[in-house]
């Protein structure tokens, strides 16, 4: 079976296989786990849509889903394709080489991601920052401060674009000149909440917006717990700044724990109800943090692995961390060290000398600092330490 095509096909966007991916995403009753299981069985969406009902029943597909697979909603698919033709929009399928490798490791990764902005940010080391939608003044300030500090040290800050801690986390990263990822619970053709429209535009320019929901999806309550697994799944760890005991951000934190990711929590006074969720997480095994450097220390080895994977090179071999020769570093890191010299140097100077982007230089400096090859100096500069 082939989808009806009544106009010229753009092979980069409007291919038959892309249409089948979009149709699979809109098939009711299958979901992320079901899609992954069926793709493992049939290999591709087009083969799946051509399967006989008996084959589908043998794979556990329910009758209503079999009927939907036999009669896909091609009009809705065409609307998705129209969205993809707009500037800055892209689709990443589970089989795409650019699909975030950390997200692939979770039990139920989305079959596809709708992306607005530069998808390369999804390959950068990320930290999720989440918390209350109605934080205290101190909580909002902490979220922004932690985000700015960690973003300036090379981590991409990931959150959910919600009011409160989410918005402060995105703002902090952008104000520090860093990058940020927003995972939404709606289609990317709308911004929710509407008050974050300008923020969403800024994120698209210095990061990326991501959703598993197709264009036109409304902000339904059930969408947000689903998107939380993507926030934690994209990230090396999750930091909870402020949260009540029944806060949705605790869902993100506990999902992160289930995914085998690090969870951090900022403690507060026992009289603050917005500290109780963080205290509960700490009792359950989350790491208590008081500074952003506590997080950087915990994530050092994971950042190294993430950067190695993003560069499509194997992780560097371990060795004497105090060797005078940086022989265990990849060539690009050795080159950056040589460009630094032995005088304090700024990120802007290194960008000019290396030809790399500010994001690439920041990420590389983060690893070099964590491995004690360089040290931060006053004025946002860096110096070789050995």
Residue position matching structure tokens 């029944």: 246
* 174, 198 contact by CB (below 8 A): no
Residues in the chain: 386
Are both 137 and 284 inside the same structural domain?
Answer: yes
Report d(CA 274, CA 14) in Å as an integer.
Answer: 48
Four-point Cα dihedral 314, 319, 323, 328, nearest 10 = -10
Q: Backbone phi, then psi, for 72, in 5-degree steps?
A: -65, 155
Report d(CA 84, CA 155) in Å as an integer.
Answer: 28
Residue 90 lies in a domain: no
pLDDT at position 309 = 61
Are both 186 and 249 inside the same structural domain?
Answer: yes
> Degrees (nearest 5) of the Cα angle 251, 257, 260?
140
Dihedral sign computed on CA atoms, order 195, 199, 200, 201: positive
Report d(CA 54, CA 248) in Å as an integer.
Answer: 41
* 211, 226 contact by CB (below 8 A): no
State which of 267, 297, 327 marks the end of a domain: 297
Residue 102 lies in a domain: no
pLDDT at position 4 = 40
pLDDT at position 313 = 37
Are both 150 and 121 inside the same structural domain?
Answer: yes
Are both 256 and 159 inside the same structural domain?
Answer: yes
Are both 144 and 255 inside the same structural domain?
Answer: yes
Output the CA–CA distances (angstroms, integers) from residue 162 to 130, 145, 168, in the order listed: 9, 18, 9
Helix (H, G, I), strand (E, B) or coil at 375: strand
In CATH, what number is assigned to the domain containing residue 65?
1.10.150
Residue 74 lies in a domain: yes
pLDDT at position 283 = 95
Q: Show the tokens assigned to 381.
A: 């500069």
Residue 254 lies in a domain: yes
In CATH, what number is assigned to the domain containing residue 151?
3.40.50.450
CB atoms within 10 A of CB 140: 22
Are both 221 and 290 inside the same structural domain?
Answer: yes
- pTM value is 0.78
Are both 142 and 264 inside the same structural domain?
Answer: yes
Q: Backbone phi, then psi, for 92, in 5-degree steps?
A: -115, 115
Are both 224 and 330 inside the same structural domain?
Answer: no
pLDDT, averaged in runs of 10, over the chain (386 residues): 37 70 95 91 93 94 94 95 96 94 94 96 96 95 96 95 98 96 98 97 96 97 95 97 92 94 95 94 95 91 67 39 46 83 84 87 84 80 78
Report d(CA 314, CA 305) in Å as an integer.
Answer: 8
Helix (H, G, I), strand (E, B) or coil at 145: helix
In CATH, what number is assigned to the domain containing residue 359?
1.10.10.10
Report d(CA 372, CA 366) in Å as an integer.
Answer: 10
State which of 22, 53, 81 marks the end of a domain: 81
Residue position matching structure tokens 């992320």: 32
State how many domains the chain has. 3
Are both 289 and 327 inside the same structural domain?
Answer: no
Dihedral sign computed on CA atoms, order 29, 249, 305, 123: positive
Residue 303 lies in a domain: no
Residue 302 lies in a domain: no
Are both 218 and 338 inside the same structural domain?
Answer: no
- Give the residue among 298, 297, 332, 340 at the shortest CA–CA distance from 313: 332
Can you give the residue range of the structural domain that contains 350?
316-384
Are both 277 and 170 inside the same structural domain?
Answer: yes
Residue 171 lies in a domain: yes
DSSP annotation of 89: E
Residue 97 lies in a domain: no
pLDDT at position 305 = 66
Report d(CA 213, CA 300) in Å as an integer.
Answer: 33
Residues facing 127 on adjacent strands = 157, 237
Are both 160 and 223 inside the same structural domain?
Answer: yes
């Amino acid at each position: 079976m082939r989808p009806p095509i009544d106009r010229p096909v753009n092979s980069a966007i409007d291919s038959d296989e892309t249409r089948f991916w979009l149709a699979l995403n809109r098939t009711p009753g299958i979901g992320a786990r079901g899609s992954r299981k069926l793709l493992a069985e049939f290999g591709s969406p087009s083969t799946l849509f051509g399967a006989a009902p008996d084959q589908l029943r043998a794979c556990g597909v329910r009758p209503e889903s079999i009927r939907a697979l036999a009669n896909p909603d091609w009009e809705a698919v065409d609307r998705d394709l129209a969205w993809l033709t707009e500037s800055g929009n892209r689709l990443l399928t589970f089989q795409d080489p650019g699909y975030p490798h950390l997200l692939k490791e979770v039990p139920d990764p989305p079959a596809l991601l709708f992306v607005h902005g530069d998808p390369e940010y999804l390959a950068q080391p990320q930290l999720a920052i989440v918390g209350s939608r109605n934080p205290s003044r101190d909580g909002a300030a902490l979220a922004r401060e932690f985000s700015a500090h960690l973003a300036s040290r090379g981590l991409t800050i990931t959150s959910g674009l919600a009011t409160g801690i989410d918005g402060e986390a995105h703002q902090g990263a952008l104000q520090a000149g860093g990058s940020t990822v927003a995972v939404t619970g709606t289609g990317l053709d709308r911004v929710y909440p509407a008050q974050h429209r300008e923020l969403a535009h800024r994120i698209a320019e210095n990061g990326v917006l991501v959703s598993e929901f197709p264009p036109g999806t409304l902000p339904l309550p059930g969408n947000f717990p689903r998107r939380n697994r993507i926030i934690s799944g994209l990230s090396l760890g999750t930091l909870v700044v402020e949260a009540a005991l029944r806060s949705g951000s605790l869902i993100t934190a506990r999902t992160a724990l289930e995914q085998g990711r690090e969870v951090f929590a900022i403690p507060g006074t026992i009289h603050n109800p917005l500290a109780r969720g963080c205290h509960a997480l700490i009792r359950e095994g989350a790491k208590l943090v008081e500074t952003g450097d506590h997080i950087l220390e915990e994530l050092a080895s994971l950042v190294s692995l993430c950067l190695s994977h993003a560069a499509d090179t194997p992780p560097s071999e371990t060795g004497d961390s105090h060797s005078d020769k940086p022989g265990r570093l990849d060539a690009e890191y050795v080159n950056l060290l040589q460009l630094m010299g032995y005088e304090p140097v700024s990120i802007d100077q290194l960008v000019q000398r290396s030809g790399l982007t500010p994001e690439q230089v920041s990420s590389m400096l983060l690893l070099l600092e964590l491995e004690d090859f360089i040290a931060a100096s006053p004025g946002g500069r860096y110096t070789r330490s050995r």
